[in-house]
Amino acid sequence: MRRDAFPALDGDLCYLDTAASALKPKVVADATYQFELSDYANVHRSAYKLGYKASVAFDKARETCAHFIGANPERFVWVGGATAGINLIAHGFLKPILCKQDNIVLTIQEHHANWLPWWDVAKASGASVRVVPVGEDGVITVEDVLQYVDKNTKMVAISHVSNITGQVQPIKALCQKLPEHVYCCVDGAQAVAHIDVDVNDLGCDFYVASAHKMYGPSGIGFVAVSKRCFSLCHPYQTGGGMVLSVGHGEVVFQDGPVGLEAGTPHITGAIGLAAACDWLREIGLSAIRAHELRLTDIALSCLRESFKNIKIFGHSQGDQTGVISFEMHGIHPHDIATILDEHQVAMRAGHHCAMPLMRHWQVPALTRLSFGIYNDQKDIDKMLQGLQRVVEIFGTHHADN
């Protein structure tokens, strides 16, 4: 679709690992390069013109990125990435109000980033964690989650799109059904560059994502916070840039998102993500979605037709994105990935930071392909050729000693 916008793809590389991190288009690299070279200075603290100009660009980047997901820039907080964002919510929002009798509801398919911080705060306050199981179809219904929610539930944390199956979870319907006393945190890391996201429409309290999965720079992400929760958020880290006044022990934090952002922010990262958001908007999320769905359908039918020993997880009902995880009977994903690499095909093998799900499904690891804006039919063909080679190599040896 836009392969020519990515200098990394000038050669033969077939990159099918966008779910881990997206490659960078030249337009994003140029924006960050230009900003660093000509417009860079620290923000919100300098009296000189260069600092003012950088601050304006930084503030504009916040607006652009917030609007990209329908969020209010006044409640759109820069963080180091989705992981840092969830830690901010767990420690800065939930922990101070979490009591021993409370519970947190997670699903078994969560990425470790949307799993470990909740267990941390639950352990610290003696609260319990309830885990919604997920079958091999990857489907979670609103009713599945609600079964685990009761009067003591403080938080439901769920990914918008699974990083294993690409299943799009029914966030809007869930938020409509959750009782008023339950907060909802949505991990949007796998969603934001692939489906149109409007956090107001979803109705969640927190929505987090990482720039590097959105064709932006690594090391920056965001948390969009609902109106009812924003004033209840406390800084998870404290330091420069976020305060109105500081004394011996007492501190008054600034209003707005800056009050939750300690230290000099990743200024260039914000500029880069804004460039990525502008670029994605220009292409259009619906066009991207259609492109990736078409490739997903082709890949699924080719994989199912070509390989008898393959088992695909998910992709049975409901909506999915272009993430497909599978196992080939008797062949370890790591061996598959090495042979694919020889064919210039970059694909992920392993537990995908979802060990609880791997254990639940009783698989040691999975091979995953994930589509991005730059992929096309040729990538699928190359992957299939690579997988044929895997079968040849592993099929030629028959040991039974």
Please report how close the Cβ of residue 232 comes to other proteins at its closest, in angstroms.
36
Between CA 265 and CA 217 the distance in angstroms is 13
Please report how close the Cβ of residue 357 comes to other proteins at its closest, in angstroms.
12
Rounded CA Rg of the chain: 22
Active-site residue 353, yes or no? Answer: yes
Please report how close the Cβ of residue 205 comes to other proteins at its closest, in angstroms.
32
Judged by beta carbon, residue 220 or residue 349, the one nearer other proteins is 349
Candidate list 65, 175, 229, 353, residue with the active-site label: 353
The answer to whether 377 touches 370, Cβ cutoff 8 Å, is no
Written as one letter, the residue type at 284 is G
List helix spans (H) across 111-255: 116-125, 142-146, 171-177, 199-202, 227-230
Q: Which helix (H) or strand (E) holds 53?
A: helix 49-68
By residue count, the chain amounts to 401
Judged by beta carbon, residue 162 or residue 169, the one nearer other proteins is 162
Please report how close the Cβ of residue 162 comes to other proteins at its closest, in angstroms.
18
Residues whose CB is less than 8 angstroms from the CB of residue 359 and which lie 6 or more positions away in sequence, other chains included: none
Judged by beta carbon, residue 242 or residue 347, the one nearer other proteins is 347
| Residue numbers at the binding site for other proteins (CB under 8 A) | 332-335, 338-339, 342, 349-351, 355, 358, 364-365, 389, 393-394, 397, 399-401
Between CA 154 and CA 322 the distance in angstroms is 32
Between CA 97 and CA 303 the distance in angstroms is 48
Between CA 137 and CA 102 the distance in angstroms is 30
Judged by beta carbon, residue 24 or residue 352, the one nearer other proteins is 352
Judged by beta carbon, residue 76 or residue 361, the one nearer other proteins is 361
Please report how close the Cβ of residue 314 comes to other proteins at its closest, in angstroms.
19
Could you give the residue numbers annotated as active site? 353
